[in-house]
Amino acid sequence: MNHRFVLVDVFADRPLAGNPLAVFPDAGSIPDELLQPIAREMDHAATAFLSPSTIAGALFRLRIFSRERQIDFAAHPALGAHFVHAIESNLPLRESVTSVAHEGHSGLVQVDIRSEGGRIGMLRLRLKRPEMGRRLPAEQVARVARALGLEEESLQAANQPVKIASAGLPCLIVPVATREALAGARPRYGDLRDVAEPLGATIVYAFTKETRDPKAAAHARAFDTIGATELPGAGAAAGALSAYLVAHAAVPVAPVTALAIEQGHAVGRPSTLFVEVHVDADKSAKKPRESEDGTETRRLSIRGIYLGARVIRVGAGELEL
């Protein structure tokens, strides 16, 4: 049988940028045992397979595979899948925002499609409520620095904690003082895995507040310890970082804090990830307080984190199996 796929770039403002994704829009006829080999053949960070849904309210069932394994949740395959489905199905886009959903590993996943004149502008996905871990002790920070090939001083000079944060996928958030230092990171993936995986993380998300675009909040690099590769755009990690920046008063905070995260420049695929952090501030707190891990945080209740992306179609093809 021939199985058709569509190639898209997620988090991109032009073709051949952002995070590449292969989407199989009619994968119901593909045997389960072929999904993993197909993902290896496509050789992207993730491949999305769409099949008929088994629950009400979902346009399709989404299964995501990396080169190595099936993934319960990842943001850029979800956004890219809805982009392809909307085009392939001629989804009516009569309103400026069309709310849709797919069946994911844990049930319905909501996505908003923003459009103008019937053309898709941006897709937005609600991430899970954030969770924050404690600051890593000095000896673990030193191990992280060595595993990234960085001087320990470049982490300490950032004056922000190294810690686990999650918006659906636990990530090790690593602040770096300068963009020059971050550009010089040369990760040793085995060492990174030894540090991150006991903490429940498979992504190490290193960032600096020195950015290429003055409008961006952070410049980041994402290291996948399982695939031993750098990711051009990591949506759940950008959401976790945005929650971290808001919680630690590292950015100006408003009821809706809109942030842009730069990523992918180190691998030649520039990406922009748009994040909104919706918060309820404790009005009785006139200034930041010190948290249990000894860092300043604001008395905030984060009500929601929304990840936005532009998606560009770059081609299509068939596998003959």
| H or E stretch covering 78 | helix 75-88
How far is Cα 297 from Cα 245, in angstroms, rounded to an integer? 9
CATH class of 2-124+310-320: alpha beta
| Residue recorded with tokens 């489905």 | 85
8 Å CB contact between 36 and 27: no
| Cα end-to-end distance, the chain, whole Å | 5
Judge whether 185 and 192 are in contact, CB under 8 Å.
no
Residues 239-297: tens digit of each pLDDT: 999 999 999 989 999 999 999 999 999 999 999 999 999 998 664 444 444 455 544 44
What pairs with residue 64 in β-bridges?
A: 48, 71
Of 105-109, 141-145, 233-237, the one with minimum mean pLDDT is 105-109
Read off the amino acid at residue 315.
Answer: G
How many of the other CB atoms lie within 10 Å of CB of 213?
11
C-alpha dist (Å) from residue 146 to 5, 27, 136, 296: 41, 43, 15, 26
φ and ψ of 280, to 5 deg: -110, 115
Residues 6+ apart with CB under 8 A from 200: 164, 170
Length of the chain as a residue count: 321
Give the bridge partners for 313, in sequence order. Answer: 8
* Fold match flag (2-124+310-320 vs 131-309): yes
28-84 per-position pLDDT tens digit: 999 999 999 999 999 999 999 999 999 999 999 999 999 999 999 999 999 999 999
Q: Which helix (H) or strand (E) holds 37?
A: helix 32-42
- The fold of the 131-309 domain, in CATH, is Diaminopimelate Epimerase; Chain A, domain 1 (3.10.310)
Measured CA to CA, the distance from residue 202 to residue 227 in angstroms comes to: 9
Would you list the domain boundaries of the chain?
2-124+310-320, 131-309
What confidence tens digit (pLDDT) does each residue in 95-124 have?
A: 999 999 999 998 999 999 999 988 999 999
DSSP code per residue over 101-140:
EEEETTEEEEEEEEEETTEEEEEEEEEPPPEE-PPPPHHH
**Tens digit of pLDDT for each residue in 5-25?**
999 999 999 999 999 999 999
Residue 171 identity:
C
**With 90 as the cut, is the pLDDT of residue 301 above it?**
no
